[in-house]
Amino acid sequence: MSSYPAIRLRRTRASAWSRRLHAETVLTPADLIWPLFIAEGDGVEQPIATLPGVSRWSVDGIVARGREARDLGIPCVALFPNTPAHLRSDDGAEALNPDNLMCRAIRALKDAVPEVGVLTDVALDPYTTHGHDGLVDAAGYVVNDATADALVQQALNQARAGSDIIAPSDMMDGRIGLIRGALEGEGHVNVQIMSYAAKYASAFYGPFRDAVGSRGLLKGDKKTYQMDSANAEEALREVALDLAEGADSVMVKPGLPYLDIVTRVKTRFEVPVFAYQVSGEYALIEAGVAAGAADRDAMVLETLLAFKRAGCSGVLTYHAAHAARLLAG
């Protein structure tokens, strides 16, 4: 009799059909949210140098991407505006304009492809001259409560335009409860809140700031309101507060460097958890591909599967359309 044990774990790996049958984690296009950048104009596509393969699109282009998402089985798109410089101000007032770039894109998408969900970012950084997510005092400190009041009005503006998911990314204390109360008060009872509950002050956001035109504007850093990358228990406290205040789902950002946080949040709270595979993560994959050090298709699917395995209900990724095509193939 063989000295080997009766149990051989390689048996179920021996054939492709068996590997599919025994897969513990499944990735589908329905697990993806596609972030899109909006530009002013008509018929506009502006490639973003630090995000190879990603562009800003005018509203008509955003609608075309919405139709593409629908056809690929991607259930939701996320919108981020590149507000023209002349419309930016210290107080980010353009965020409250019902005809701003974001609101026009929301309305156009919901008119053209109502079956695709629209997630909208709530924060002031695309609208401010200083590049911060909130209002700043004379010392340059981002003030919490006045910012939260502005975010409530921004959220209502987006909900009135037709946003399906309000996603506050600012990390102000208490803003989820205030936004939830305001949405309920106006009758937007089915508008979801996906809170950026654990958003870290990360080095991986640079290309995104290029995309929304805020990199050169930022004065200082965001460490007084975004989380310290050294902290995990604090992330659980942030999530607990946002859930208690009415968040329907929570997000961890960035993604791959914080999969431990995803798993801890999912295990502790058993709620829908999303992660954002941020611009720097995307850019690193594309740089590896360009250098001949990686296969794009394999890298994209492996990293996205890692999010699902860690406990994500879904992933915001710039590779969404590419991944959906691979999964369909």
Pick the closest to residue 117 from 323, 316, 322 (CA basis): 316
Active-site option among 222, 253, 266, 308: 253
What's the token pair of residue 43?
């018929």
DSSP 228: P
* Cis check: omega of the bond before 75, within 30 degrees of 0: no
User: What does the alpha-carbon distance between residue 171 and residue 160 come to, in Å, rounded to a whole number?
Assistant: 23
Backbone angles phi, psi at 326, to 5 degrees: -65, -45
DSSP 101: H
Most distant CA atoms of the chain, gap in Å:
81
Active-site option among 199, 222, 266, 308: 199
The single residue listed with the structure tokens 């990360």 is: 202
DSSP 116-140: SEEEEEE-STTTBSS--SS-B-TTS
User: What does the alpha-carbon distance between residue 255 and residue 119 come to, in Å, rounded to a whole number?
Assistant: 18
Q: Is the dihedral of CA 160, 312, 231, 283 positive or negative?
A: negative
User: What does the alpha-carbon distance between residue 169 and residue 123 come to, in Å, rounded to a whole number?
Assistant: 6
CA dist list (Å): 117 to 8, 11, 166, 239: 45, 42, 11, 23
Active site residue 219: no
Task: Tabulate helix, strand, coil % of the chain (nearest 5).
Answer: 45, 15, 40
Q: Find all residues with CB under 8 Å of 159, minimum gap 6, and list them.
A: 166, 183, 186, 188, 191
Active site residue 223: no
The single residue listed with the structure tokens 């001949």 is: 292
Catalytic machinery residues: 199, 253
